[in-house]
Structure 1
Amino acid sequence: MSHSIPLITTIATALGLALVLGFLAIRIKIPALAGYLLAGVLIGPFTPGFVANTEIAAELAEIGVMLLMFGVGLRFSLDDLMKVRKIVVPGAAIQMAFATALGTGLAATWDWGLGGSLVFGLALSVASTVVLLRALEARGALESMNGHIAVGWVVVQDLAMVLVLVLLPPLGGWLSGKTPVSGAANLWQTLGITLFEIAAFITLMLVVGRRAFPWLLWQVARTGSRELFTLCVVATAVSVAFGAAKLFGISFAVGAFFAGMMMRESEFSHRAAEESLPLRDAFAVLFFVSVGMLFDPMILVDQPLRVVAVLGVIIVCTPIAAAGLVLVFGYPLNTALTASASLAQIGEFSFILAGLGGRLGLLPLEGQSLILAGALISIAVNPLVFKAVEPLQVWIRSRSLLARKLERPDDPLAELPAATSEVYLSGQVVLVGYGRVGRRIGEKLAEQAIPFVVAEQNRELVERLREGGIAAVFGDASDPGVLIQAHIAQAGMLVAAIPDTFRVRQMIKTARILNHGIEVVVRTHSEEEAILLEREAAQKVFFGENELAKGMSHFVLQRYGKAPSDDMVAGSSD
C-alpha cells in the first residue's frame, strides 16, 4: 500500500503497544495506566525508533478527554458526596491549597513565573479518579466508609479542577505576563464574560439538557437497538462537548462533564455507562498514550533532584497532610491512612491541566515532563502504598501516643451517652455499619422491638441516628475500643453489615475474646471469603449471590405450588 495512512498507523501502534505494556504492568501488580503512559513514551518524539503522528495523537486525545470526563460526570453522585460533605469539602479544599502552595513555591524557585508555577502546583494537588477507583475496587473497599470518603474527596478535587479549567484561559494572558491585561477593569470584564458564558451553559444544561437527555435515551431505548443506544450516548457526549466549546467558549472536558451529569438523571444512566464503557476505555487509553508522548525521559537524568522534589510533594507531603486532616476531623487512623494512600498519586486532571497550561504558554515543557514523571512513578508505586496501610497502622498505634489521642479524642460520639437505657447494654445486637444493608437490618430490628447498638464510621450518620433515638457509637469497629464502647462483652449478637473481610475478621477476633458465647452474623460478596469467614467462627455468613438465588427460587417454587426446602425458606426470610 503506497499511500500514507497516519491515522491507522498511530491508532494501531498506540493500542497495540499499550496492550502489551498494560498487560505487563498488571502482571507485576501495578496499574495498567502506567503501561499506557510508557507506551506513549516509547512512540513519542523523545525516544529513538518509530514516532507516531503527534497531531493525530493530540486529536485522538481530545476525544479521549471528552469521553473520560463524560464518564466522570456519569459517576458523579451528589447524594454520596452529601453523606461525607463535612469532611471531604473542607478536607479537599485545605489539602489542595497546601499541595498547590508547595508545588507553586517549588516551581517559583526554578524561575517559572507566576502562571507556570501556579499551574504546576495545581497539577500536583489533584489525584487520579481512575487510579483511585480501580485501587478501591481491587481491595473491595469501594462501598466502605473509607471508600466513600476517598471517592468524595477526589470528586471535590475534580469539581475544583473543572472550575480551574474554566477560569484559566481568560486569566492566561495576565498570568503569563506576555499579554498583560491593561487594568483591573479589563480583567474583571474578561472574567465576567467567562462566568456569564459558563452560567448560560449550565442553565441550558439544567433547563433543557436535564429533560432532553433522559427523554432522548428513553426514545432510543424503546427501539431495542443496542448499537443505536451506544451511539446515542457517545454522540451526546461528543456533541455537547463540541457545542460547549464552539458556542460558549468552554473546554471540551467541562462540556463533556456536564453532559455526563445530565445523562445521570435518566433511569438508563447505568446502562449508558455500561454500554459506552468499551469505547470510553479505548479512547482513554489513546489519551494516556498521547500524554506519554509528551514526556522526555531525559528529565530523569538531567533533573533528578527536581523529580525527587515533585515525588516528595505527591507521595509524602500530600498524604501526610490528608491523613492529618482526617484525624483532626475525628475519624479513625484506618480512614486517615486509606485517604492518604488514595491521594498519593496524580493522573488525568493533572495531564489535562498541564496540556492547557502548555497551550496557554504558561507551563514550560520541562514542567510537563516533571508532572508526567511524577504521575508515572506515583501511579506505579501506589499499590505498594496501599499495601503499607495495614502494617503502618499497627506500627503507628503501637508507637505513637499522639496518633492514638488524635484517633480517639474526647469525642461524645465515640461512646454511648450516660443516659443510655439498660436494654442497649446487655443482650443487645451490635450492628456494624448502617449503609444500604445495615439500615434495612436496623429497621427490621426496630419493628420487632429488638434493642441494637450501631457502630458506624460516618460521624454525620451517627449524629443523625442519635437525633432519631437510635443508640450509636462512632468509630472503626475493627478497633477493640469501639466494640467495647458498644458493650460487646454483654451483647447477644454481632452483625457485621459491611463487606470488608479483613476488618470483619478483626471484629470477630475481638468479639470472641470479650464475649466467648456471642453469635456472629456477617456478609460477603465472595464465596472464597464466605468459606474463610466461616472458619473464623462466624455462625452465619450471607453470600450475596447465594441469598439472591435462594430468594428468587423460593418465589418461583411458591408460584408453582412447590414446597421449598428448609434451607431455602431460611435463606429467603433473612
Structure 2
Amino acid sequence: MNLLMSLTLILLATTVVGHYSTRIGIPAVIGQLLVGVIIGPAVLGWISLTHVLESYAEIGVIILMFIAGLESDLKLLKRYLKPSVFVALLGVIVPMIGTYLVGMVYNLGMVESLFISVIFAATSVSISVEVLKEMNAMSSREGTTILGAAVVDDVLAVVILSVLVSTTGTAVGGSGASSNLLITTLEQIVYFAAIYFVVRWVAPYMAKIGERLLIPMGQTLMAIILCFGMAYLAELVGLSDVVGAFFAGIAIAQTSALSTVDRHIEPIGYALFIPVFFVSIGLNMDFHGLGHQIGFIVVLTIVAILTKLLGAGGGAKLAGYSWKSSAAVGAGMVSRGEMALIIAQIGFQAKLMSPVRYSAIVAAIIVATLVAPFLLRVTVNRVRKGEADVSKVRPSA
C-alpha cells in the first residue's frame, strides 16, 4: 500500500478508535495497538510493517520518551532511585528464571531458553508512559519509580544480552552493541557520566541559542536536535535510543525552554509519529502457523506477565511500598513492546531461535503488551482509591 494511504488509514483508525476507547474508559493506547493487529497481517492484511513505517515508529517512541523526560521531576527521580534499582533488579531476575524454565519445559534447549529469558527480562515503558500520562500519574511515586526502573532495566537487559552473545559466540548484526563486553560497559558508563554535563551546561546553552535564532520554534528545534543526538549516541554505546531521548527530555526540563518545548513537541508527536509507533507493535502480529503453538504462547504470556508483576512488584515492596503501590509498579513494568521485539529480532537474525518459535514469542510479547495497560490502569486506580479513603479518615481522627 502507498505510504500516504497507509498513514491516512492509520491516523483515521487510531483517531476514531482512540476517541471511543477513552469514551468507554479503556486506555486509548489499547485501541491503537488493536488497530495495528486488525489492519495488519494478523487479520485484514491491509498494511504491513515497511522500513519507512518502522522509521516513523522509531521517531514516535523517541518523541514519546522525550516528552516523558520533559514531564519528569529530576528531584523525584533522585529520591526514588533506590526503589527503582530494587524494582529493576527483581523485575529482571524473576522473569528470566520463569521464562527460562518455560523454555526448558518445552524442550527448547539451554541457549534458546536463555535467549527467551533475556527477551522477557526487558521492559518497554513507553506503553506505560502513555497510560500514566492519560491518568495524570507521571509524577506520582509509582510513575516516577516505573520510569527510573525502566532505565536501569534497559541497561541490565543490554549487559545480559552482551554476555549471552559473547558466551555463545554468535555475532549480533546491527545491535549497536560492541562485541567486547568490557568496552561496551565502559562506553555506557561514559555515556551516563556525560549526561550530567548535558543537563548542567549543554542543554541550557542550546536553549539560549534557540531563543536567539531568527526562525520559528528555534528552542524546540534545538531541543529536538539534542533529543535525536542523545538517542543516537545511546544506540552507539549499545543502549536503547529511548534512554537517550528520556534524558534529553530531563535536560531540557531544567532550562527556561521547558514550557515552550513542551507546548510545541506534543502536537508534532501525537499528530503523526506516536500513533504510528503504537500501531506498529500490532502490525508485528501474525497468526500464520501458530495453531499448534497456542499452548506455548498462553503459558509463556502468563508467565511473562506474572513474573514481572511479582518481580518488579516485589522490588517495590522490598523498598517499603504498600501492597497496592507495589502492584501498580509491577503492572507498569509488564509491557514488553518494542524493546522485547528488538531483542527477539536480534536473536532470530543470529539464528538463536527457529522461525516458528520466533512467531510464537512475538505473539506472546504483543499479548503481554496489550494486557499491560489494563493492569496499570486498574492498579493505579486502586492506589488512588486507597489514598482517598485515608484522606477521608484523617480529618475525623
Would the alpha carbon gap of residues 112 and 340 (structure 1) be closer, same or farther in structure 2, given more than 3 Å must change?
same
2: CA distance, partners of 1:173 / 1:329: 32
Quote the offset at 1:290 in angstroms: 1.6
Q: Tell me which residue corresponds to 1:377.
A: 371
Residue 267 of structure 1 aligns to a residue whose secondary structure is coil
Deviates more, 1:17-26 or 1:104-113: 104-113
Q: Tell me which residue corresponds to 1:159.
A: 152
2: CA distance, partners of 1:60 / 1:174: 32
1:505 to 350, 371, 392: 392
Normalized per residue, the structure richer in strand is 1
TM-score, normalised by the number of residues in structure 2: 0.79
Q: Tell me which residue corresponds to 1:483.
A: none
Would the alpha carbon gap of residues 240 and 85 (structure 1) be closer, same or farther in structure 2, given more than 3 Å must change?
closer
Query: Contact (CA 8 Å) 1:10, 1:56: kept in 2 or not?
Result: no
2:209 to 205, 211, 219: 219
Matches within 5 A, 1:25-64: 25-52=21-48, 54-64=50-60
Matches within 5 A, 1:98-117: 98-112=94-108, 116-117=112-113
Rg comparison, structure with higher value: 1
Structure 1 position 174 matched with structure 2 position 166: yes
Task: Give CA-to-partner distance per residue, 1:173-202, whole Å, 9 cap, x none.
Answer: 43665559xxxxxx9981233234434545
Quote the offset at 1:117 in angstroms: 3.5
Q: Tell me which residue corresponds to 1:191.
A: 181
2:261 to 244, 261, 272: 272
Task: Give CA-to-partner distance per residue, 1:334-390, whole Å, 9 cap, x none.
Answer: 434443444454445444444444455446232122111221133345434555678
Deviates more, 1:32-41 or 1:248-257: 248-257
Matched to 2:367, the amino acid is A
Residue 20 of structure 1 aligns to a residue whose secondary structure is helix
Residue 217 of structure 2 aligns to a residue whose secondary structure is helix
Matched to 2:294, the amino acid is P
Would the alpha carbon gap of residues 360 and 148 (structure 1) be closer, same or farther in structure 2, given more than 3 Å must change?
farther
Matched to 1:57, the amino acid is L
| Matched residues, number | 388
Q: Tell me which residue corresponds to 1:6.
A: 2
Would the alpha carbon gap of residues 97 and 375 (structure 1) be closer, same or farther in structure 2, given more than 3 Å must change?
same
Query: Contact (CA 8 Å) 2:36, 2:279: kept in 1 or not?
Result: yes
The CA RMSD measured in Å over matched residues stands at 3.8
Q: Tell me which residue corresponds to 2:64.
A: 68
Would the alpha carbon gap of residues 130 and 502 (structure 1) be closer, same or farther in structure 2, given more than 3 Å must change?
farther
Would the alpha carbon gap of residues 166 and 220 (structure 1) be closer, same or farther in structure 2, given more than 3 Å must change?
farther
TM-score, normalised by the number of residues in structure 1: 0.57
Structure 1 position 231 matched with structure 2 position 221: yes
1: CA distance, partners of 2:178 / 2:124: 32
Quote the offset at 1:99 in angstroms: 1.9
Query: Contact (CA 8 Å) 1:104, 1:121: kept in 2 or not?
Result: yes
Would the alpha carbon gap of residues 173 and 97 (structure 1) be closer, same or farther in structure 2, given more than 3 Å must change?
closer
1:19 to 15, 37, 41: 15
Quote the offset at 1:268 in angstroms: 2.2
Matched to 1:306, the amino acid is F
Q: Tell me which residue corresponds to 2:280.
A: 290
Would the alpha carbon gap of residues 160 and 327 (structure 1) be closer, same or farther in structure 2, given more than 3 Å must change?
closer
Query: Contact (CA 8 Å) 1:68, 1:284: kept in 2 or not?
Result: yes
Quote the offset at 1:84 in angstroms: 3.0
1: CA distance, partners of 2:243 / 2:90: 23
